[in-house]
């Protein structure tokens, strides 16, 4: 028996990085997966890779910060597969810079993509999730647990996601809907590469990042997807409201790694 047999899963940001790895892993464990991304080409590529591996998936173009898009996405999902069992709110972006450097429009855009998207996706999926006793997994970050220099806006969204997760876990516990957050440190994805490339010396930044993790490296998308799978499966049936770090020891203290 596969771990997500007959489950219906929706993964936002499924066209790249952690979301893509989660879509493929969920499908390999028997889930029917809706791959959601603002970039339809990338979402379709993920769905195609799942089909080629013998799994079941559809791709849906959605800007998760748009109410209209999210409502259409949930309608499409219900028509295609039925009520949702697993909602992985993974899509997100970065806004590096000090508070003096970032402007109000970029701040609003970041809040909309990283945080309002979760409000919308949960609000318009929760009726179905209550019926299925579903699982919600929200993508937080180590930045929601500790601070980071020149990254206050992103950190604020991730801290809010953790607080949202805890409160929703309380509200939905009577329905047996579990809500958890994942808090990775560095994960090798296009998003992290983008962050490094904005620095004066990207290669040095990569080395510094590796050493800030006690295990001496950043994570792969697949390693983080394994935590999402655990939270999506019945193996985590008594875990709710938690913000679970997956950070290679990065929050343990000072040290240069092995």
Q: By CB under 6 A, which span of 34-42, 50-58, 79-87, 124-132 interacts with ligand NAD?
A: 34-42
Window 82 to 141, contacts with ligand NAD (CB under 6 A) = 90-93, 113, 139, 141
Task: Determine if 177 is a binding residue for ligand NAD (CB under 6 A).
Answer: no
Residue number with CB closer to ligand NAD (40 or 175):
40
Q: Which of 55, 128, 184, 245 binds ligand NAD (CB under 6 A)?
A: 184
Active-site pick, 81, 124, 154, 230: 154
CB of 61 to ligand NAD, least distance (A): 8
Q: Which of 37, 165, 179, 240 binds ligand NAD (CB under 6 A)?
A: 37
Q: Which of 3, 30, 49, 63 binds ligand NAD (CB under 6 A)?
A: 63
Question: Which residues lie below 8 Å from residue 87, measured CB to CB, with a gap of 6+?
Answer: 9, 10, 121, 122, 125, 129, 134, 135, 136, 137
What distance, in Å, lies between the first and last C-alpha atoms of the chain?
39
Task: Determine if 17 is a binding residue for ligand NAD (CB under 6 A).
Answer: yes
Q: Which of 186, 225, 229, 248 binds ligand NAD (CB under 6 A)?
A: 186
Residue number with CB closer to ligand NAD (133 or 179):
179
Window 144 to 163, contacts with ligand NAD (CB under 6 A) = none
Residue number with CB closer to ligand NAD (177 or 243):
243
Report in angstroms the alpha-carbon separations of 1 from 9, 21, 29, 122.
17, 21, 9, 29
Catalytic annotation present for 254: no
CB 56 within 8 A of CB 82: no
Q: Which of 44, 59, 65, 212 binds ligand NAD (CB under 6 A)?
A: 65
Report in angstroms the alpha-carbon separations of 137 from 11, 54, 98, 109, 242.
9, 25, 29, 22, 10
Question: Which residues lie below 8 Å from residue 1, measured CB to CB, with a gap of 6+?
Answer: none
Q: Which residues bind ligand NAD (CB under 6 A)?
A: 12-13, 15-19, 37-39, 42, 62-65, 90-93, 113, 139, 141, 184, 186-187, 189-192
Catalytic residues: 154
């Amino acid at each position: 028996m596969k771990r997500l047999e007959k489950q219906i899963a929706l993964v936002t940001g499924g066209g790249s990085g952690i979301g893509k790895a989660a879509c493929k892993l969920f499908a390999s464990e028997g889930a029917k997966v809706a791959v959601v991304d603002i970039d339809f080409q990338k979402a379709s590529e993920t769905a195609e890779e799942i089909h080629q591996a013998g799994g079941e998936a559809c791709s849906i173009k959605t800007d998760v910060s748009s109410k209209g898009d999210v409502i259409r996405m949930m309608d499409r999902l219900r028509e295609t597969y039925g009520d949702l069992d697993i909602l992985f709110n993974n899509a997100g972006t970065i806004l590096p810079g000090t508070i003096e450097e970032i402007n109000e429009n970029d701040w609003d855009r970041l809040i909309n993509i990283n945080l309002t998207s979760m409000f919308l996706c949960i609000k318009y999926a929760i009726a179905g999730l209550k019926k299925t006793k579903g699982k919600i997994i929200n993508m937080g970050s180590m930045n929601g647990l500790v601070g980071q220099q020149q990254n206050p806006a992103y950190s604020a969204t991730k801290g809010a996601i953790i607080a949202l997760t805890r409160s929703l876990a309380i509200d939905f516990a009577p329905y047996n809907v579990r809500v958890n957050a994942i808090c990775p440190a560095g994960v090798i994805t296009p998003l992290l590469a983008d962050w490094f490339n904005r620095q004066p010396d990207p290669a040095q930044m990569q080395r510094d990042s590796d050493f800030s993790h006690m295990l001496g490296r950043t994570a792969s998308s697949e390693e983080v997807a394994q935590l999402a799978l655990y939270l999506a499966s019945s193996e985590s049936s008594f875990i709710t409201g938690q913000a679970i770090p997956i950070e290679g020891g990065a929050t343990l203290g000072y040290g240069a790694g092995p």
